[in-house]
Structure 1
C-alpha cells in the first residue's frame, strides 16, 4: 500500500518543504565539550564504522512471526512485560510490569537497533573524517529500509507490542521506533555529502514524512501522544527528530510548545524528579530513560530564538533542575533513596546522553566527567533498547 502511494507522498513532502522554513539549529553552548567527547570516542567510532562497512542490510522482511496480524513489510513486536497466564496457559497473556518475557518476538526490534547502530557509526565516522565511503555504505542500508520494494518497512507501527489473545498491536509499541532517530539524524549529517544522492534523500524523507503523518493522525499515534509518562516524551522526541529531517518547522514548533506546556509541567515534580517514573517497578532506569528523552528534545529543538535549555515554568521546573536532581544518583548509585529496580538494576547507568548534552549546554564539568567515566558501549539488550542515543557526536 505504501509503494502505491509513494508518488503522492513525495508530492506532499515537496509541498511541505516548500511551505515550511528551515529547521531549527541546536544550541551548542560549549564547543569544547564536543572536542573532548570526540577525542574520547574517536577510536570506538572508527572501530564501529569499520564493522559497519562490512555489514549487509537486514530489514524486517528477513524475519517474521506467525503471531503477527500484519504482512511481510509490517513491523511486529510483542509487549515486553506480558506473559502466559499460569491459570490459563492457552489464554490471553497477563501483565507482569517490569519483567521482560524472553520468549516474545523481538526480531524486528533487533533489526532496527542494528540498523540504527550501523547508520549512527557511519554518520559519526563521516562527521569526523569527511570520507564519502561511509556515506556510500550507509546509502545501501537506507535504500533497503526505506526505498527498495522487496525489503522496505511500511511507515507505521500498527502491529507493534502486540499481546497474545488481547491486541494485534498497541500504541505503546510506538516507542520501538526511537531507534530510527539516529537514522534520521545520521541522514542530516550525511546529507552534506555528494555520495547521498538527491533521489535517495527524497525517498528517505518521503518515508519519514509518511511516518510522521501516521504518528499524528492514526488512532494509535494519537493515543501514544496522550499517554502521561515516558511514552509521550518519546512520542514527542521522535516527531521532533523526524520533523527536523523533513524541515517541517510547523511540527517542530508544535513539539516545542508541547515540551513547554505539557511535558515539563505535567511530568516533572518541583524537586526535578519524574513522579510517574518513580512509581514504576524500575524507577531508577525509567527516571534515566525519561530524562534522556527530555534532554534530547532540548538538543533537537533549541535554537537561538527558542532555547529550551533556558526555559523554566512559573513554578520553577526546568530541564536543568531535572539533571541536577538525577545527577547525584548517577555519580553515586548507592545513594538512590528508593528500592532497586526489579530487573537490570546492576546494568544502569551507562554513558547517558543527558549528562553530555547537559554538560555542553550548561558548561558543567562535573556532568561531563561523570559521562566520560561511564560505559560508552553497553552490551545488555535491555539497556540498548532504552538507549536510543548511542552516537552523541552526530547530535552536537
Structure 2
C-alpha cells in the first residue's frame, strides 16, 4: 500500500450507470475520496487532541480578559488603545548607544516591548481553546466565557483595541511603526475562526456579534488602505503571504466576498508565480539567515490560504500555474526536510534551529486534502503544544480542530 490514505472502494459500475459519462464519474470518485480522507483525518486528529483541548479549555475558563490597555510602553507614539510592538531584529548601536537602533537580521532583541503581542497570543489561545472545546462537546459555557473576552478586545470602550497596527514593530529613533508589524495579528486568525465556530449558538448575543464583525471589517479596510497596510500587501516575501492569510480569515468572518475573490486571484497570479521556484522552494525565504524557519512559516501561510479560500468551484488545492507551480509542489519540496531535518541542504538557522519543526499546519491540512497518511503521521509525531515563544509567535494555527 502506498503512503496515501487507503480509500474505501466505490462501486464504480453502479455510479457509471447512473452518471453515464466517464469524466463525470472520475470527478465524482475524486470528490468522494477526498471527503472520505477528510473524515478519516478529522476523526484521528480529534482523538489525538481531545484531552489537550479540554485541558486548555479548563485553563481558559479561569482567565480574565487582558487587552492592549493593560500595559503601555513609554516609547509608543500611540494611545492607550493602540497596539504597540518593536521590531525583533533591532538593537542598540554599540557606536552610539543612545541613538537609533541598528538591525541584526534573524537575531531577536529580548529587551524590546512585546507585551501587546503576548496579550494577543494569550487571547488567541483562549478563544482557540474555548471554540475547540465547544466544537467537541457542544457545551454553551465555553461560548459565554469566550464572548466576555471578545467584547473586551473589540467592543468595550474602556478596554478595546483600535482596529489598526499603525504602531506595530516600531524601531527606536527610526520608525513609530512599520508595515512589517502587521504580521503580529496573525494571532487574530484563530479568534476569527473561533467566532465562526461559535456564532450560531444561542449564547452568542447578536449585538456583540455585530459589533465584533464591525471591528474586523474596519481592520480589513485599514489593511487595504493605510500606507503600512498597502506596503505589507505588496511585500514580496512571507510578509505579503501572511498579509493575505490574515485578510482571508477576517474577510471570511464578515462575508466579504469581493475581498475573498481578490485574494484568490492574488494567490494565483502573485504568490505562486513570484514566490515559488520551479522545485517548490521559496527563494526569498531561503536567502534569509533563518531559511528553514522562514520556509516553514511561508508554506504554512500558503496552505492556510488554500484552506480558507478554496471552494468547490475554485479550489486552490488543485490549482497550478502554467509552468507547473502548485501548493502540492511546495509541500513535496519541504516535507523531506521536516521528516528528517538532517537532510536540510543549507546552513542551520542562526537562531531557533533546534526548535523547528513542530506540528505544522501544512502537514495536517495537506494530509487532510491529499490523503497523505505519512504527512499526518509526521504531524502527530511532532510537538503538538510547543512552548518556545519564537515558535508560538510564528505558528498561525495552534487549534486545528476549529479549521477542520
TM-score, normalisation: structure 1: 0.93
2: CA distance, partners of 1:258 / 1:352: 24
Query: Who is 1:141 aligned against?
Result: 149
Match of 2:211 among 203, 223, 226: 203
**1:215 to partner: Cα distance:** 0.2
1: CA distance, partners of 2:357 / 2:52: 19
Match of 2:60 among 49, 52, 57: 52
The answer on 1:248 being equivalent to 2:256 is: yes
The residue correspondences of 1:165-176 to structure 2 (distance < 5 A) are: 165-176=173-184
**1:28 to partner: Cα distance:** 8.9
1: CA distance, partners of 2:397 / 2:334: 18
**1:192 to partner: Cα distance:** 2.0
Match of 1:328 among 333, 336, 355: 336
Q: 1:243-297: per-residue Cα shift (whole Å, max 9, x none)?
A: 0000011000001000000011100000000000000000000000000000000
2: CA distance, partners of 1:44 / 1:28: 25
Query: Who is 2:371 aligned against?
Result: 363
1: CA distance, partners of 2:388 / 2:121: 13
Match of 1:90 among 78, 86, 98: 98
2: CA distance, partners of 1:63 / 1:92: 24
**1:29 to partner: Cα distance:** 5.6
The answer on 1:294 being equivalent to 2:293 is: no
2: CA distance, partners of 1:264 / 1:192: 35
The answer on 1:64 being equivalent to 2:72 is: yes
2: CA distance, partners of 1:306 / 1:123: 28
**1:301 to partner: Cα distance:** 0.4
The answer on 1:395 being equivalent to 2:403 is: yes
Query: Who is 1:164 aligned against?
Result: 172
SS at 2:105's partner residue? coil
The answer on 1:238 being equivalent to 2:250 is: no
The residue correspondences of 1:342-357 to structure 2 (distance < 5 A) are: 342-357=350-365
Spell out structure 1 runs of 4+ moving beyond 2 A: 26-29
The residue correspondences of 1:105-184 to structure 2 (distance < 5 A) are: 105-184=113-192
2: CA distance, partners of 1:264 / 1:390: 25
Query: Who is 2:196 aligned against?
Result: 188
Asked if structure 2 preserves the Cα contact closer than 8 Å seen for 1:162 and 1:168, the reply is yes
Instruction: Calculate the aligned-residue CA RMSD, in Å.
Output: 1.0
**1:39 to partner: Cα distance:** 0.3
The answer on 1:39 being equivalent to 2:47 is: yes
SS at 1:77's partner residue? strand
SS at 2:85's partner residue? strand
Change (3 A) 1:174 1:28: farther
2: CA distance, partners of 1:120 / 1:28: 26
Give the total of aligned pairs: 371
**1:31 to partner: Cα distance:** 1.6
**1:388 to partner: Cα distance:** 1.5
**1:384 to partner: Cα distance:** 0.2
SS at 1:169's partner residue? coil
**Structure 1: gaps (5+ residues):** 1-25
Query: Who is 2:24 aligned against?
Result: none
The residue correspondences of 1:248-327 to structure 2 (distance < 5 A) are: 248-327=256-335
2: CA distance, partners of 1:256 / 1:88: 47
Structure number with greater Rg is 2
1: CA distance, partners of 2:154 / 2:318: 37
SS at 2:364's partner residue? helix
**Structure 2: gaps (5+ residues):** 1-33
2: CA distance, partners of 1:327 / 1:94: 35
Asked if structure 2 preserves the Cα contact closer than 8 Å seen for 1:75 and 1:159, the reply is yes
1: CA distance, partners of 2:77 / 2:351: 30
Q: 1:2-39: per-residue Cα shift (whole Å, max 9, x none)?
A: xxxxxxxxxxxxxxxxxxxxxxxx98962211110000
